[in-house]
Structure 1
Amino acid sequence: MRNLPEDMLWASLVFAVLVAVFSGPGSCCDPQEYRTQAGECCPMCHEGTFVQSDCTPFSGTRCRPCDSGTYMNQPNGLKKCFSCSSCVADNGLLVWQKCTNKTDTVCDVLNGFFCKSLAEDTGCSMAEKHKRCTAGQRTKEPGTDRIDTECEDCPMGFFSHFGMNCTRWTM
């Protein structure tokens, strides 16, 4: 047998260590798997469920449905589901779509409010009451569920007691 030069021997040893480290358990899981704390790759749980116990050499991942008030909207390797969002009426929000085990609550705004923060999947997360125009102003554009009321000052020779419409002064 031929002796390898010392540099090649070291290179071979480093390569072997790298292969062992990067191809060992848990190095790179498939997209449908998650890595456990022990570094093993286990099949993910489906939407609406979470991991009750990790897989073993003898059994697959044990998944459990999300409890009431929680949801899971993606395949996962998590130990608990996400808490459902609340639509608090005191904050100008109402439930548009109830939380299910696969989807979060979707909120919308109550009458008299507009949405300040809108998320594509969960609806409105922050609402604000429409502003009221003050005396000497009129409502230029009424507020909607997405924009606030727009006010403007009454022109010279007009007045407004309640911030609604401008009325001409009479003598």
Structure 2
Amino acid sequence: MAAEERMPLVEKRGTVVQRDCTAYSGTRCRFCELGTYVNQLNGLSHCFPCTTCDTGHGLFVKRNCTPKTDTVCDVLNGYHCKDLIDSNGCSLAEKHSQCAAGQRIKEPGTSRSDTVCEDCQPGFFSRDGVNCTAWKICSNRQIKVKGSSTSDVVCGRTSSQHYFVFLPFLLCSVAFTSLVTG
């Protein structure tokens, strides 16, 4: 056994050099402590600190850190990854964009892409930036306020239409008064 103990140890994933080899003994390794890792063959004397997934910045732990692998973070609902680490993890997340009034959501955000917004087409409006709704249909004489991309058409009688309603009545009253007094 004494001969086997003198054989050099091969540094491996999850370990670092505790003591370098000498003429009389082989390299002595130690395992990475909790919260640290080494994911490759190495000659290092210290393990790397495990990555922290910050929920305040839209990340959560997908896979915990081990002595041989770093933490893998992924994104919370409502966020998308801005810095993808291979196909498994994310190191930086950002909240999905909100569409503005006058726009609609063309494509909802996912964990890997932001929300895609699109302007409402003419004749449609959106107050909340979610969906576009068609303007109400009014006759030309009923349009009180024109619609926009952020507000609907307002239908109703305009003030000029009141004169057209009362004008025939007024003319009849004047004619009748002229006949009676005349």
TM range (shorter): 0.7 to 0.9
Detail structure 1 runs of 4+ shifted over 4 Å in the superposition.
none
Work out whether 1:134 is the aligned partner of 2:97: no
Aligned position for 2:86: 120
* Alignment match, 1:33: none
- Which residue of the partner structure matches residue 29 of structure 1? none
Query: In structure 1, the residue corresponding to 2:56 is in which secondary structure?
Result: helix
Shift of 1:44: 4.2
* Alignment deviations for residues 54-86 of structure 1 (CA, whole Å, 9 cap, x no partner): 011111101011011100111111010111111
Query: What's the C-alpha RMSD, in Å, of the aligned pairs?
Result: 1.4
Letter of the aligned partner of 1:75 in structure 2? L
| Matched residue count | 130
Identify the structure with the greater helix proportion: 2
How far, CA to CA, are the matches of 1:122 and 1:154 in structure 2? 36
Structure 1: gaps of 5 or more residues: 1-41
Between the aligned partners of 2:79 and 2:54, the Cα distance in structure 1 is 13
- What is the distance in 2 between the residues matched to 1:59 and 1:75? 20
| Partner secondary structure for residue 90 of structure 1 | helix
Deviation, 1:123, is 1.1
Which of 51, 54, 78 does residue 85 from structure 1 map onto? 51
Aligned-pair CA distance for 1:120: 1.4
Given residue 116 of structure 1, which amino acid in structure 2 is its aligned partner? K
Q: Which has the larger radius of gyration?
A: 2
Q: For 1:83 and 1:129, locate their aligned partners in 2 and report how far apart those are by CA, in whole Å.
A: 27
- Structure 2 runs not aligned, ≥5 long: 1-7, 137-154, 156-182
Report if aligned partners of 1:105, 1:122 keep a CA contact under 8 Å in 2.
no
Determine the structure 2 residue equivalent to 1:48. Answer: 14
Q: Kindly provide the amino acid, as one letter, of the partner of residue 162 in structure 1.
A: D
2:160 matched residue in structure 1: none
Residue 117 of structure 2 aligns to a residue whose secondary structure is: strand
Partner of 1:23: none
CA distance in 2 between partners of 1:46 and 1:135 (Å):
57
Name the % identity: 60
Counterpart secondary structure, 2:101: coil
Does residue 1:166 correspond to 2:132, yes or no?
yes
